[in-house]
Structure 1
């Protein structure tokens, strides 16, 4: 077993296709197939089940996949550590919450791109749970998530502080009025969103039963539906302050245990901290300090 075998294995597992893996790795399908078969012979177990739609991992393959990703990342880190000299450069693959992207990242990204033009950055959005998993699995170099963080492989640093509020239609006068709404719905991001979990806990404490949540992937869609009276949500005050000023929604304060949340920047404990990563965290810290000074 060598690093190339593991790279081929990871690509096939992720794409579910020998042909697509070959295209990504800039080789031919017969080479990918031969490497996977040789790896299976060496291990003495099948790693993939073959079917008409492609391939899927066997239980043995599923157990092996996380280690293949870590080994590939270690090799990449070793190469980066040896060549990471001078001004920050190279690739930086990051993730963020939708709310953080909408509210906080624009000045950070603008400053960073101006200061370090040699860094090639890509950004994806997700929930706190999915982003933490992707960082732990080495699919992302780092990510902004909502705290707290409880993962043995990850390091988190508080970057921003947010105040959460319940967001409702203007016709809802108070949190107490929610109990009188028949078939109350919550409008939230998909499962794994920490704001969604906090809203569920808040409503449970109030003894309010809700219908099946409505899931959206867009912050604008959530705010629009709440304003239309379709349901309620829980979001950072700064994200919805503009909609409240325009009288599109109403905001309701909640108890501190549900209100206060820190946005963390997370990365793997054992990952090499590149010049690009170090610079990005420093720029993020600087933006936070600027916000505190302006408050």
Structure 2
């Protein structure tokens, strides 16, 4: 009798092309993975993998078994979603998060996860969206709240929320109370997200179309650092107002009345389209509920 655990180990070995990576994913040892695969090969009387120096690849028989393994694992996920209560869920959710979400509603999501799924631990990695996309594709993350959607058939995207970008500066900067032109803005350094992100690219394109002298454009992977630089009067931050709400209320920063507008940043809850995505899918839908609440913008 072929055990579901063996099929799961086989699936991850095939998906990751490595006994070592499958062992890490399944929280077991590499010899245990090798033994499970060897037992499957003995049970079916065929070789399932071609062993190479640093990887393994499926044989034709292995590819055929892979289709059945996916169906078994998806059926188990559907069964758990249909029958099992939230309290029965166990495991670790490897979550990637954009720092914009950290500064808005992430703590509410963590609180809801703790209440709804007390048996689940959440490991959080804060990173930029391109890095999180790669981590999802490499199966190093189970779920990510990132700038999306990512249009790949191997990933599922759920709309989360969108935030607007604004020109935000310290009151000490010599800018009038009325409307500020792009020419006036570019007299100061502009500080925004890293170079390989959508906000930076959109800002750079806006500036390129203006026919103005190129301004000093500072990119930073740390949103907290961008906020502090703007607060210290070192430049104008091009960031969402939601992340500096308290600074705006306290008068440490202000939103400039500037005509140039940039597109909103749309975030998605994105996870691999995998047979065992049940926990990630549940967490993604819970995140959508949290993000839909209007009070985190106030």
TM-score (norm 1): 0.67
1:134 aligns with 2:108: no
Is the CA contact (8 Å cut-off) linking 1:130 and 1:192 kept in structure 2?
Answer: no
Q: 150-159 vs 260-269, which deviates more? A: 150-159
Q: How does 1:102-121 map to 2 (within 5 A)?
A: 102-121=103-122
Q: How does 1:61-72 map to 2 (within 5 A)?
A: none
Q: How does 1:270-285 map to 2 (within 5 A)?
A: 270-274=274-278, 276-285=279-288
RMSD: 4.0
TM-score (norm 2): 0.66
Q: Which residue of 2 aligns with 1:204?
A: 208
Is the CA contact (8 Å cut-off) linking 1:164 and 1:254 kept in structure 2?
Answer: no
77 and 114 in structure 1: CA distance in 2 versus 1, 3 angstrom threshold? farther
Q: Which residue of 1 aligns with 2:226?
A: 222
Is the CA contact (8 Å cut-off) linking 1:185 and 1:214 kept in structure 2?
Answer: no
**Partner SS, residue 196 of structure 1:** helix
Q: 164-173 vs 137-146, which deviates more? A: 164-173
Whole-Å separation in 2 of the counterparts to 1:27 and 1:148:
35
Over residues 104-162 of structure 1, what are the superposed CA-to-partner deviations in whole Å (9 max), with x where a residue is unaligned? 11111101101210112111111121112211221111111123534443221111121
Is the CA contact (8 Å cut-off) linking 1:127 and 1:194 kept in structure 2?
Answer: no
* Structure 1, gaps ≥5 residues long: 12-20, 32-40, 48-60, 65-71
Over residues 225-283 of structure 1, what are the superposed CA-to-partner deviations in whole Å (9 max), with x where a residue is unaligned? 11222222321121122212222223236679724232211122345331x32332232
Is the CA contact (8 Å cut-off) linking 1:131 and 1:143 kept in structure 2?
Answer: yes
* Structure of larger gyration radius: 2
Is the CA contact (8 Å cut-off) linking 1:253 and 1:259 kept in structure 2?
Answer: no
